[in-house]
């Protein structure tokens, strides 16, 4: 008789492929939205930054609540956790990239080089990954504050989300194994 705690390859594939496809589709959609969204004009910048941060905060909150509810009821809790984590991290990256490109369009001296969408996304990724190549740097106090905020938010978000989602996924997996053992 097989051990009910063993995960079969088929079960892992059934859980993993939809999560992978869903994650890739949502991440691609968020990045596509970022790329087609027009760069705000200088006079529109402040309200668009606030609006963008508000929208992404709503995405974070919604994705977090959805993930917690779904993880506890899902047949594949880990796949839901992976999907939520990928959406939330991508939303954070795109938000900061939009903040940086907006700041640069409003005042190009905020950074050592003017930022376009790809360079702002690249800069955001180097900050998040703590690589910091130095080819793009914040030059103004406002830009430095935004970069420091990204550092704090990024590290806090990643560690907290990872911890919460992994705990929820483990709890959901444990519950599923207990249910399977009773069947």
Q: Can you give the three-state secondary structure of the chain, one letter per residue?
A: CCCCCCCCHHHHHHHHHHHHHHHHHHHHHHHHHHHHCCCCCHHHHHHHHHHHHHHHHHHHHHHHHHHHHHHHHCCCHHHHHHHHHHHHHHHHHHHHHHHHHHHHHHCHHHECCCCCHHHHHHHHHHHHCCCCCCCCCECCHHHHHHHHHHHHHHHHHHHHHHHHHHHHHHHHHHHHHHHHHHC
The mean pLDDT value of the chain amounts to 79
Burial 81-97 (b: 16+ CB within 10 A, else e): bbbbbbbbbbbbbbbbb
- Rounded to the nearest 5°, which phi and psi values hold at 6? -75, 135
Burial of 172 (0-12, 13-18, 19+ CB in 10 A): buried
pLDDT digits (tens, 9 = 90+) for 107-153: 889 999 999 999 999 999 998 887 877 888 888 888 888 888 888 88
pLDDT at 7: 54
pLDDT at 175: 76
pLDDT at 123: 93
| pLDDT top residue among 96 and 19 | 96
pLDDT at 65: 81
Per the listing, tokens 């406002």 go with 142
Q: What pTM, to 2 d.p., does this model score?
A: 0.73
Rounded Cα–Cα distance for residues 116 and 31 (Å): 14
Q: Is the pLDDT confidence value at 30 over 80?
A: yes
Rounded Cα–Cα distance for residues 172 and 11 (Å): 15
Q: Is the pLDDT confidence value at 156 over 70?
A: yes
**Domains by residue range for the chain, with CATH:** 44-178 (1.10.287)
Rounded Cα–Cα distance for residues 163 and 147 (Å): 24
Residues in the chain: 183
pLDDT digits (tens, 9 = 90+) for 32-71: 988 988 887 666 666 766 776 677 777 777 877 877 787 7
């Amino acid at each position: 008789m097989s051990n009910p705690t063993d995960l079969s390859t088929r079960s892992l594939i059934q859980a993993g492929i939809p999560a992978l496809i869903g994650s890739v589709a949502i991440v691609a959609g968020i990045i596509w939205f970022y790329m087609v969204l027009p760069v705000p004009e200088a006079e529109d910048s402040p309200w668009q930054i606030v609006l963008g941060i508000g929208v992404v905060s709503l995405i974070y909150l919604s994705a977090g609540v959805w993930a917690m509810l779904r993880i506890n009821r899902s047949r594949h809790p880990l796949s839901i956790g992976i999907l939520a984590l990928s959406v939330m991290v991508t939303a954070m990256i795109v938000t900061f990239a939009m903040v940086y490109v907006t700041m640069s369009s409003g005042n190009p001296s905020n950074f050592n080089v003017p930022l376009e969408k790809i360079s702002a996304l690249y800069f955001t990724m180097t900050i998040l990954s703590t690589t910091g190549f130095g080819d793009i740097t914040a030059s103004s106090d406002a830009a430095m504050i935004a970069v420091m905020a990204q550092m704090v938010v990024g590290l806090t978000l990643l560690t907290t989300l990872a911890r919460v989602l992994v705990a929820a996924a483990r709890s959901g997996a444990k519950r599923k194994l207990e249910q399977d053992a009773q069947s």
